[in-house]
Chain A
Amino acid sequence: MSHGLSVLFFYLLIFGLILFLFIRGISALICGNRDKIAWLKREVPKWEEKNLISAKQAEDLFQFYKIKSGEVKKTNLITTLSVIGAALLGIGVILFVAANWQEIPPNIKTILLLAVTFGTFYIGYYLTYEKKSYAVLGKSLMFSATLFLGAAIALLGQIYHVSVTDGWIIFFIWAALILPAAYFFESPPIFMLSSSLFLLWNYFYTIGDKYSNYYYPLIVFILILPFAKNDKLKSIFNITALVFAAALSVFYKQDWVILVIAAGLLIYHLLPYMNFPAGKLKETKPPVYEHFYNSCLIGSSLAFAAWSISFFLSYDKLPNYFFIIILGILFYLTYKAKSKEALFVNICSLIVWFNLFFAALYNNFSSPQSLSVPDMLLINILLGIIIYLAGLNHIKEKIFKNIYTACGFAIVLIISYILSFKNLFWQLKNLNSDYIYLCAFIVLSLIIVYLIFINLVNKKFLAKTLFYEILIMALIILASFTGFFTHNRDIYILLVMNITLLLCGFIIILQGFEKQNAGLFNSGILILVIFAFTRYFDLFWSYLDRSLFFIIIGIFILIYATLMEKQRRKIIGDMKNE
């Protein structure tokens, strides 16, 4: 016996031992308990019948072994364990193939592997459907067999040295072959494996050949999603995978693939509207489905956002007018479905689209000058204010209102923080008085003034914070126009942004007071602390500037506190007088 053969024998022995222990362990886990419980279920009524035990005792016995509630929990644990075991076994075999061990000739290796694959699947089938009592073990053996099948395909690819750039073909064949097994034998792990392999196929196909892969979304829409609808994990995984595919396609400017994905998900979201009268949607659809359709809307919104980016990368001089219509439809559907997550995604994609739209307009109309970063930031801060004001307008949908206002507030806060650093962006000291910026400022400011007016008329502002909010908006609007009147607007904008940050902190603190919300109050304090901390260590300001800055703000806050104290005393005095 040669050295190689003895090594092979040794490995086979170890492999067999592990397999035996695995099967033995799993079957003991399942059958041990199941059998005892089944036996108990059978025997206890007999004891009761023969008056060996009383009816109460029999009931106590059942309760002691938790026969009803406990069983489900244990089965879940067993299922999880056996799926993990099956997965490890499969990975082991794949790694064995990858090692490309030369002791066994390729043809023997192939035949052995095929025998193991079909044998394992058949045993799994036999245990699940013929013998029936070993269903969990049987199903995990079937799952193992689907992994062995992958190893067999990889082995063929290895023997014939299929080029790594065509390596996606292995994932595709594997995924396509095991999908029917997932259908016929209702196996969630095999279904998830197949979904993951399709995703990997798409990934390697896209990055390797850089061609659009229309087959992937079509396969998911036609062969996978209809069967994943009822299961949260399956549907979320596949919708996320589609969004991932859309995001990947952005890098290769494959606009049409992204559009197919986005449109497909939108159609899935619209399916219940097509079947039922739109108004009765909520009453007629089951709750699990509702989750699925909501995920479709979120996925579709994300994919459309990816499309707007990809569109800009492909045609950077063509403003994306089409997206206005799409965004309108998406917002309409979001309100109809009352989806918080979709609203957040769509607000984000509105901002992204607006910036890309503006950049495309600028590229189209303006001189070869590059886009001015400070001006873009100012435009975004105006957009943030508009989103905030739009949020105040919502009364009925309180959650929607909170999402809008939080997004708007966050934008104002982040951008004013960026612009509050001296010289960070203001090295571009010269104004960029392109008429295109002027137009944007005017349009956005008019919208803001209109929204402020509407909100004032309808009394949507919180009385205590109204003054500060209006002050911030007025200051920011003024600051955006300074560039068109003066040559050192940097100092104005710098001042406005610092004041804005300070006031934002105050607004949050006041709102925290008003709504008795400790979280809001603390965030306000945090904003002020970060503000003070940043200014203290700010590299762009000289010490003298900073010292003056802190003294002025300190005095300002002390005066404010004194005024409040006075007011408090007055109120207490009034109360005493009464």
Chain B
Amino acid sequence: MNKRFFLVLLFIIWLLALFGFFAFKQFTVSTGTKILLETAPVDPRDILRGDYVVLNYKISRLDTNKIPCDTNIQSFSRGDKIYVVLKKDGNAWSAQEIKKRMPDRNSVFIKGTLWGVYPPNLHLSYGIESYFVPEGQGRNIETYRGNNLAAEVITDKFGNAVLNKLFIDNKEIKFR
């Protein structure tokens, strides 16, 4: 086998991997349901991708006394995958039910990873906690800490989520 074969092989591997990464996320974006979640941000920096805003959602901390859960909370442990069924509550979406098993495909739900169990509260992350912004522009968003800032998230039929847009006072944030 000559080097040329390896070159073509390597390029195919690279393209497939990059396309896979792209397709995995784009599948969610293309096929999923758009939901609006309420947030509270700060502004750090990633070494490869630059400035971002940390978003903390109301559904990041769930009180099992208020939201029904299909499993006993004591049986949960860190790292568990959990599904949160969402319902539209005015403009934004909020948690309706917590499920250990994947819910019915007809309902809108999001998949989260449990990183803390503090009965009766569950702390979850959904992989949508960072919003990347152009350099130096995170501060502007930070001033809208509180109720004005909302995130548009797209969830697919497996519960995977992609963070799509940010809204301040119902107006989409654009950087130009």
Q: In the complex the two chains form, what is the Cα distance from A102 to B175 in whole Å?
A: 7
Q: In the complex the two chains form, what is the Cα distance from A145 to B41 in whole Å?
A: 35
Take A157-B49, A173-B17 as given contacts and tell me if A181 and B10 are in contact as well, using a CB distance cutoff of 8 Å. yes
Determine whether the beta carbon of A185 is less than 8 Å from that of B6: yes
Most buried by A among B14, B25, B115: B14
Q: In the complex the two chains form, what is the Cα distance from A129 to B54 in whole Å?
A: 47
Q: Which of B30-38, B84-92, B93-101, B130-138 sits within the interface?
A: B130-138
Interface of B (DSSP majority class): mixed
Q: Which of B102-110, B121-129, B140-148 sits within the interface?
A: B121-129
* Chain B CB within 8 A of A152 CB: yes
* Chain A CB within 8 A of B119 CB: no
* Chain B CB within 8 A of A97 CB: yes
Q: Scan A330-343; emit 1 where CB is below 8 A from any B CB, else 0.
A: 00000000000000
Determine whether the beta carbon of B46 is less than 8 Å from that of A164: yes
Closest partner residue, chain A, to B134 (CB atom) = A100
Determine whether the beta carbon of A97 is less than 8 Å from that of B3: no
* Chain B CB within 8 A of A531 CB: no
Most buried by A among B7, B29, B48, B51: B48
Q: In the complex the two chains form, what is the Cα distance from A58 to B175 in whole Å?
A: 69
Q: Scan A137-178; emit 1 where CB is below 8 A from any B CB, else 0.
A: 000000000000111111111111111111100100100110
* Residues in A whose Cβ lies below 8 Å from that of B4: 129
Determine whether the beta carbon of B134 is less than 8 Å from that of A150: no
Per a CB cutoff under 8 Å, which of A99, A165, A184 touches B134?
A99
Take A152-B18, A164-B46, A167-B46 as given contacts and tell me if A158 and B125 are in contact as well, using a CB distance cutoff of 8 Å. no
How many chain B residues touch A (CB < 8 A): the figure is 43
Q: In the complex the two chains form, what is the Cα distance from A256 to B21 in whole Å?
A: 31
Per a CB cutoff under 8 Å, which of A117, A160, A166, A176 touches B162?
A160
The smallest C-beta distance from B88 to any residue of chain A, in angstroms, reads: 23
Per a CB cutoff under 8 Å, which of B10, B47, B135, B162 touches A100?
B135
Per a CB cutoff under 8 Å, which of B3, B10, B78 touches A180?
B10
* Chain B CB within 8 A of A94 CB: yes
Per a CB cutoff under 8 Å, which of A94, A100, A125, A156 touches B18?
A156
Per a CB cutoff under 8 Å, which of B7, B21, B125, B135 touches A99?
B135
Q: In the complex the two chains form, what is the Cα distance from A173 to B164 in whole Å?
A: 23
* Residues in A whose Cβ lies below 8 Å from that of B52: 161, 164
Take A114-B18, A184-B10, A209-B79 as given contacts and tell me if A163 and B127 are in contact as well, using a CB distance cutoff of 8 Å. yes
Q: In the complex the two chains form, what is the Cα distance from A177 to B134 in whole Å?
A: 27
* Chain B CB within 8 A of A211 CB: yes
The smallest C-beta distance from B91 to any residue of chain A, in angstroms, reads: 21
* Chain A CB within 8 A of B120 CB: no
Closest partner residue, chain A, to B131 (CB atom) = A161
Per a CB cutoff under 8 Å, which of B7, B130, B135 touches A164?
B130
Take A149-B14, A211-B79 as given contacts and tell me if A161 and B132 are in contact as well, using a CB distance cutoff of 8 Å. yes
Determine whether the beta carbon of A102 is less than 8 Å from that of B134: yes
How many chain A residues touch B (CB < 8 A): the figure is 46
* Residues in A whose Cβ lies below 8 Å from that of B133: 100
Most buried by A among B21, B25, B126, B164: B21
* Chain B CB within 8 A of A122 CB: yes
Q: In the complex the two chains form, what is the Cα distance from A163 to B52 in whole Å?
A: 10
Q: For chain A, residues 166 to 224, give those with C-beta under 8 angstroms from any C-beta of chain B.
A: 166-167, 170, 173, 176-177, 180-181, 184-185, 209-211
Q: In the complex the two chains form, what is the Cα distance from A468 to B129 in whole Å?
A: 67
Determine whether the beta carbon of A153 is less than 8 Å from that of B21: yes
* Chain B CB within 8 A of A98 CB: yes
Closest partner residue, chain A, to B28 (CB atom) = A160
Take A102-B134, A161-B132 as given contacts and tell me if A166 and B50 are in contact as well, using a CB distance cutoff of 8 Å. no
* Chain B CB within 8 A of A461 CB: no
Per a CB cutoff under 8 Å, which of A100, A114, A118, A125 touches B49?
A100
* Chain B CB within 8 A of A101 CB: yes
Q: For chain A, residues 97 to 143, give those with C-beta under 8 angstroms from any C-beta of chain B.
A: 97-102, 110, 114, 117-118, 121-122, 125, 129
The 7 closest A-B pairs by CB, nearest first: A98-B50, A184-B6, A161-B163, A160-B25, A154-B48, A158-B49, A164-B130
18 A-B pairs within 8 Å (CB atoms) are namely: A102-B175, A102-B176, A118-B11, A150-B48, A151-B48, A155-B49, A156-B25, A158-B49, A160-B163, A161-B130, A161-B131, A161-B164, A164-B52, A173-B17, A180-B9, A181-B10, A210-B78, A211-B79
Report B's interface with A, CB cutoff 8 A: 3-4, 6-7, 9-11, 13-14, 17-18, 21-22, 25, 29, 44, 46-52, 54, 78-79, 115, 125-135, 162-164, 175-176
16 additional A-B residue pairs with CB within 8 Å, beyond A158-B50, A160-B25? A101-B134, A110-B22, A122-B7, A154-B49, A162-B25, A162-B130, A163-B128, A164-B54, A165-B129, A166-B127, A167-B48, A170-B48, A177-B14, A180-B10, A184-B6, A209-B79
